[in-house]
Chain A
Amino acid sequence: MQPSVAQALPDRALLTLRGVRKSFGAEGAGGTVALRDISLSVEEGEFLAVVGPSGCGKSTLLQIVAGLMMPSGGQVAVGDAPVTAPPDSMVYLFQQYTKSLFPWRTIIDNVAFAVEHRDGMSRGRARDHSRPFLDMVGLGDSADRYPWQLSGGMQQRVAIARALAAEPRILLMDEPFSSVDALTRLDLHNLILDLWTTRHFTVLLVTHDVDEAVYLADRVAVLSARPSVIATTFRTELPRPRDSIRTRELPRFLELRHTLLAMLLERPHDG
């Protein structure tokens, strides 16, 4: 296996991070540096996972990419356009589905929220636009229910449908499967892979779950402990379509899992 440091940025990158740093509070004087120097590129159509220990600033990194938070230094760009506010081309999928769905809206109207503010959209047209996306996640029958009437896994499906309804080029996922039970998680993994395969978007996923990262991604980047840098990136080189059971039994899967876990466990404070 050849760990390669991802500092060289290829030309056809859709999403690029150059020297992104983030500190909270006054730097040096009681403030903390969360991200030291993150450079990363994601190619069009790629599924990239970033793994790191808890508190390494994964969510901070993703929020900066999403334009929800400004970096203290460095730059994020989609194509050639620097990100200074949430761009139309990206949608952020939050970990806490219970907090990201609107309790006053029905399921269909939660999904319609993704597009109803756009020019020329009425509430009715937004609903029509949203129905196929709700069907894609298998919740067409729950359109008129409320989020709090659904299970956790179903709620996260609604959040996924809503994210896809905006038809983003890039989907940013912030540990989206970490608050559902283990079996539901495997289900949602395959759902996301199916949707990614059929709808051709680009994914940047952050997670602390090594299994999940290796199973889903084309490439896995390892974030060091705070203040974080990208330690290494690996190509997973696992065959697709992936299978919940068989892919996890492949020698390559086990090898990657071993290497990544060893990095995360044995050197948690390195960096």
Chain B
Amino acid sequence: MAERAQKQLGGRWLGVALVILLLALVEAGVRAGAINAALVPPPTDVVRRIAEILISGDFIQPLGATLYLLFIAYIGASLLAIALGLLMGRFPAIYNLFEPLVELLRPLPKPALLPPLILFLGLGDLMKSVVVGLAVVFPVLINTIQGVRGVDPVLINTARTFGYGRLAVLRKVILPAALPLIFAGLRVSLALGLILVVIAEMLAGTGGLGYLILDMQRTFRVQNMYAWLAILAVLGYGLNAGFLALEHRIIHWAAARPE
């Protein structure tokens, strides 16, 4: 096991080396005049730009706007999806009531909903939260339903034989037992949420990372465009890493268990 982990770690450093190598190639290409510097500035210049943005604190406001929008929509939609998923997974009547609506909305690419949403809700944060929420809600919902249905009946009967009522069974047995699948859905949704935040900001933004990236491109500040893009990439990476750490804390038992 340890040996395998070590090998994986070695593989990872190799991957990091590849990224650095690619950046060095671009750098050399630009310096040699083989790549148009107006389209691709030298990576070292972009790194300097990133450092300036970080030191000046200019990143705080747009990063805050993006994160705020993401978290409001993500947390709200996730809680809604988990609650509805528990009910739909547990009660066939509720499942039958919502299933057609879910199956109609779920496969629809959510950016396609931006035009009608803008029509109804304007260009503000509400519209953006709704479209992000719509992207977040379905993976969590579907996984919660599956998680609930996969709970072994023996676990449920165990709780019933100790006198647990319906609601207590839901809270103390079904929810924790479904958590590994719920978390899998939450992870997919986090990535989807970030994508939708950026799209919404580009289409209807006055701030946030998505808006800035597009704005820099339109005003030919290419170095800044790449700098913000890199910051967005790091944000995505950081969110995923943070999520994995949280997941490991909450459902450590699911990973440690054999099978």
**A126 CA / B160 CA spacing, docked (Å):** 18
Contact across chains for B176 and A92 when beta carbons are under 8 A apart: no
- Of the candidates A86, A96, A100, A103, the one having the most CB atoms from chain B within 10 angstroms of its own CB is A103
A260 on the B face (CB < 8 A): no
Residue of B158, B168, B172, B254 with most partner-chain A CB within 10 A: B158
- Interface SS of chain B: helix, strand, loop or mixed? helix
B49: shortest Cβ distance to chain A, in Å? Answer: 47
Q: Which residues of A contact B161 (CB under 8 A)?
A: 66, 68, 86, 90-92
Known contacts A68-B160, A90-B161; A117/B256 CB under 8 A: no
How many residues on the B side are at the interface (Cβ–Cβ under 8 A)? 23
**Contacting pair B157 A117 (CB below 8 A):** no
Cβ contacts under 8 Å, B154 to chain A: 94, 96, 99-100
Contacting residue for B253 out of A88, A114, A146, A166, CB 8 A:
A146
Which size bracket describes the interface of A in this complex?
20 to 34
Per-residue interface assignment for chain A, residues 83 to 107, with 1 indicating a CB less than 8 Å from any chain B CB and 0 otherwise? 0001010111010100110111000
A47 at the A/B interface (Cβ < 8 Å)?
Answer: no
Instruction: Tell me the bound Cα distance from A146 to B179 in angstroms.
Output: 17
Pick from A103, A104, A117: contact of B163, CB under 8 Å: A117
CA A206 to CA B91, docked complex, whole Å: 32
A104-B176, A104-B177 given. 10 additional CB < 8 A pairs? Answer: A91-B161, A92-B158, A94-B158, A99-B155, A102-B177, A104-B253, A113-B172, A117-B163, A117-B172, A148-B253
* 14 A-B residue pairs with CB within 8 Å: A91-B161, A94-B154, A99-B155, A102-B155, A102-B177, A103-B253, A104-B176, A113-B162, A114-B162, A117-B162, A117-B163, A117-B164, A118-B163, A148-B256
Q: Top 3 A-B pairs ranked by shortest CB distance? A: A92-B161, A99-B154, A100-B158
Interface residues of chain A, those whose CB is within 8 Å of chain B, are 63, 66, 68, 86, 88, 90-92, 94, 96, 99-100, 102-104, 113-115, 117-118, 146, 148, 166
